[in-house]
Chains A and B, each alone.
Chain A
Amino acid sequence: MIKKQILVGIVMLLITMACGGRPSGDELASGFRNVAKLATLEVQVHKIVSVEKNEKLLFFPIGKSNRVVSSDAVVKIGVDLNEIQPEDVDIKGETITLKLPPIKVVDFIYPPSRFELLDASDKGFTHIKVEELNNAYCEAETDIRRWLNQLGLEQTAETRNRRYFRNFLINLGYKDVNIHFSEPVDKAKPLIDY
């Protein structure tokens, strides 16, 4: 009787160990957020995602599957107007000095629904599952987000924003416009948005 109970316990433990984890629903909040993100620069990035799956029986290959997908990401860069504080604006007659918040990624669009399949092959009994392909897309997205910081796009974006706000304020009636930018929180990763 005791031996049976131990055996049942071991089997239950093995089953529990075999089960994968599930995402915790408590951490995910849904709903609306009011934002004020002004996008002034749009960068279109192209990336090829290549996934390969190999299956073996002991040491012998029994199947191979691959997918090559062409993907495009749209990155919008700009400023968050909600971060402008009253002390960032200094008005003296017809002269205005405006300190803008640091340039950041205000939107990142990389939907797999718009990807194009370039090549696919399934040999043997091996198939790449949808979840495995999605994991590859996650890696690709992380790679693009990290790579953005190495491009020096924040300087291009600052030039663009400086010109944009200067024209905007001149049209409002100011004769002398000075635009500055705050320093990013992490200078090594100025454009990463998470």
Chain B
Amino acid sequence: MKNIKLFTIGCAAILVFLIVFDITGVLRIRIFSRTVSVAKSMNKIEKIIEVEELITTEYYGEVFTTLADAYDALYPELPGFYREIRDSLLMFRNDSSFFKFNEDTCRSILGNFMGENRFKFRMIWGLKEWDNVKPITYMQMKPTAFRMIRGVMQWKAVDIEDVRMGLILKGLLKNSKKDLDQAVYNRPAKKRAKAIRDHIDNVKRKNHLKWIARGKVRASFDFNPIKDSLTVHHKRNYSNQDTTYIHAGEIEPTILATINPWFIYDPEHKEKNQGYYVIDDNLQGDSGTVSGFDNDQFRRTQMLMEYTERMLRDQAIQLGVEDRAREALKNTLSGFFELITGKPVVIVTDEGGLASSETD
């Protein structure tokens, strides 16, 4: 009896062990199983446009960023938050369209400067909601815009209600009184910055996201103005050789940092790795979410992604990507023109208003 009991317990223990670990893979039973599936979807071409862009330099880099770092980047910007809104409105004060006060003026006043500060607004106010919004009517916009302009003309501080309306216009907040944290909303203006900072600290304590991101920073030039500004003259150089000098005018590269899902670092051999290698992640979606697209986890991930791209871009700029790009442009253009003209070519650019040397 005792032996039978021991035998049964032993078999049960082995069975539980096999199920839990499933070493052999024969049983194919999992206590906890999870499957992640990605649905097949169509790719749709939105538009095809003709461009003229010359990419001369690429920088492949890697950065380690955390959500706490992204939030810390907000702190220097908080004191100037309200002042920036007022300064942005000031530029419209002398605008001739100011007294027309039509729908376009309202949208310009409230919408355009939000676009320039989009990153900052998303990082600060994106702590709560910033989902898609219902369109706001012109009649709703008008009093707010008028009040903001009047406040600017009288040198008053911008009211937080006006800021909220501006954010609604750009789709950064829902059109509802409950959008902002009431504790923040009801406080006096001078304590709001501290309240926001306390909120950020609380979020940092509860949410962790860390990753190593690998991406590419590219420096490119819009070739259309360069092409239009090209002027050619011929001269004999110090070796008495007929040389073509091509003036390319002022050249300023556009620096763009991109971190794709795949980081392809060797296209020839098809070598690739993940763009974001997650080290720590405890972000969770909201429980009891009312609207389907209101999701703290997604929002915070996007926020860190934008911050990471900014860090990668800064890294490349610090290493001199702009100067390298200009130098590479000169080499590319001189090499190409030498091929198609059959003569030595020197590219002269106008950097900062001073023409570079015309001798090679």
Contact = CB atoms under 8 A, between A and B. Distances in A.
Interface of A: 14, 23, 27-58, 65, 67, 69, 72, 76, 78, 81-82, 84, 86, 88-89, 91, 96, 98, 106-113, 115, 117-122, 126-144, 147, 151, 153, 156, 160, 164, 168-169, 172, 193-194
Given A56-B34, A78-B53, A140-B41, 19 more contacts: A28-B263, A30-B60, A33-B59, A35-B328, A36-B54, A36-B56, A41-B50, A52-B38, A55-B34, A56-B33, A76-B53, A89-B342, A107-B55, A118-B292, A120-B289, A130-B209, A134-B275, A137-B261, A194-B272
Chain B interface bracket (under 10, 10 to 19, 20 to 34, 35 or more): 35 or more
Contacts of B277: 23
Interface stretch (B74-82, B182-190, B280-288): B280-288
A136 B274 CA distance: 11
A46 to B, nearest CB: 5
A138 B60 contact: no
13 contacts: A32-B59, A37-B55, A39-B54, A39-B220, A45-B44, A54-B37, A81-B332, A84-B336, A110-B258, A112-B305, A113-B259, A127-B284, A130-B278
Contact of A119 (B214, B227, B293, B332): B293
A117 B295 contact: yes
Contacts of A112: 259, 261, 276, 302, 305
Contacts of A110: 258, 260-261
A109 B51 CA distance: 15
B34 A42 contact: no
B44 A49 contact: no
Contacts of A84: 336, 339
B251 to A, nearest CB: 15
A107 B56 contact: no
Given A52-B37, A130-B278, A117 B293 contact: yes
B332 A27 contact: no
A156 B39 contact: no
B190 to A, nearest CB: 34
Contact of A44 (B46, B227, B265, B308): B46
